[in-house]
Amino acid sequence: MPESDLHEARDVVNALPVNGVSASNNLKRGQYDETPKTPVGATGTATNTNGSNSNNKRRKHRAAVRRSAKRRHSMSKAARDPRDEPESKAASPSRADDADVDADAMEKEAASAVATRSPSPFIDFDGLSRPSTGTRARLEENDEERAVRLEKMRGAVRTILECVGEDPDREGLLGTPDRYAKALLDFTQGYQQNVRNVVNGAIFHEGHNEMVIVKDIEVFSLCEHHMVPFTGKMHIGYIPFHSVIGISKLPRIAEMFSRRLQIQERLTKDVANAIMEILQPQGVAVVMESSHLCMVMRGVQKTSATTITSCVLGCFESKEKTRNEFLSLVGVNR
């Protein structure tokens, strides 16, 4: 073949596209020339690499979807009155910025913060149980302040008696304002208690890892919507992580939270989360069944209706067999 024809044929070949890209462009990218380089895709190496990257991206996407679809952890942050939040302090200077920082003072400050405020909203060592704005004053009041509080409540009860059409000065009602004021303070004495004092160190390392249940705990509380009672029974179970709690402390914790203005749903959750934090077991389960006078005496007036609520944490939440065993033992799976 003449040399001129050979050059013409070579120009035609260079003009042809290779993998969708002209040979001249490939030549600029170093992907196609007369040297014995392997064109892209010739052995499938680059194609397999791209496919592997694509598969990795798909797997990561599916994993992210699964994580987002997981059940929300029950130990969520509870609602709290903003006025009950501790005041935030400015960040302390670093040691590099201030060489004169007193380490002992910082440690003492941190220790005092831990002692007065638990990270959980369910255990308030200072007695400020949520949602509340006046419980510290009630907890620390002296006899004179207590007398002033009682007098205000007596006056309020007397006003209520007058508003419903009664005569607060008649014989049967003369002592009612005083009696009701004292009774209401007794109904809500849980505002003056906290879990640390209730438990009082009764946690023992026994190496026990089997289910512990205290059932049929009688519970009396006041509905916060109508301030009328709801009564029922609570069943508490937990699986220890080596440490156990004195069994009498479980009813005491239930009593503490029930002696507040409550709704049954929150009461169940309060008890479960408090036990979970104070004991750190493998799991906690609480079931409550009660009758609400706010729907028995008024409104829909269904005298035989009962309400069942539950809160399961830890292994009771993640393991169906463990949860079903607890429900069967307390008589809910019947």
Whether residue 67 is contained in a domain is answered as no
CB atoms within 10 A of CB 260: 24
Q: Residue 192's pLDDT is what?
A: 82
Catalytic residue among 225, 242, 265, 280: 225
Does 226 participate in catalysis according to the annotation?
yes
Residues 166 and 209 in one domain: no
Catalytic residue among 235, 264, 311, 317: 264
Does 225 participate in catalysis according to the annotation?
yes
Q: Residue 7's pLDDT is what?
A: 57
User: 128 pLDDT exceeds 50?
Assistant: no
Catalytic residue among 85, 224, 242, 280: 224
Residues 237 and 161 in one domain: no
Range of the domain at 233: 202-329
Q: Smallest Cα–Cα separation from 85: which of 136, 123, 130? A: 130
Whether residue 96 is contained in a domain is answered as no
Confidence of residue 324 (pLDDT cuts 50, 70, 90): very high
Does 192 participate in catalysis according to the annotation?
no
Number of domain units in the chain: 3
Whether residue 23 is contained in a domain is answered as yes
**CATH number for the domain harbouring residue 308:** 3.30.1130.10
Does 264 participate in catalysis according to the annotation?
yes
**CATH number for the domain harbouring residue 162:** 1.10.286.10
111: its two tokens: 């220790």
Does 325 participate in catalysis according to the annotation?
no
Whether residue 103 is contained in a domain is answered as no
Whether residue 122 is contained in a domain is answered as no
Does 208 participate in catalysis according to the annotation?
no
Whether residue 271 is contained in a domain is answered as yes
Q: Residue 139's pLDDT is what?
A: 77
Residues 269 and 306 in one domain: yes
CA 241 vs CA 146, 245, 281: distances in Å: 43, 11, 5
Mean pLDDT score across all residues of the chain: 76
pTM over 0.85: no
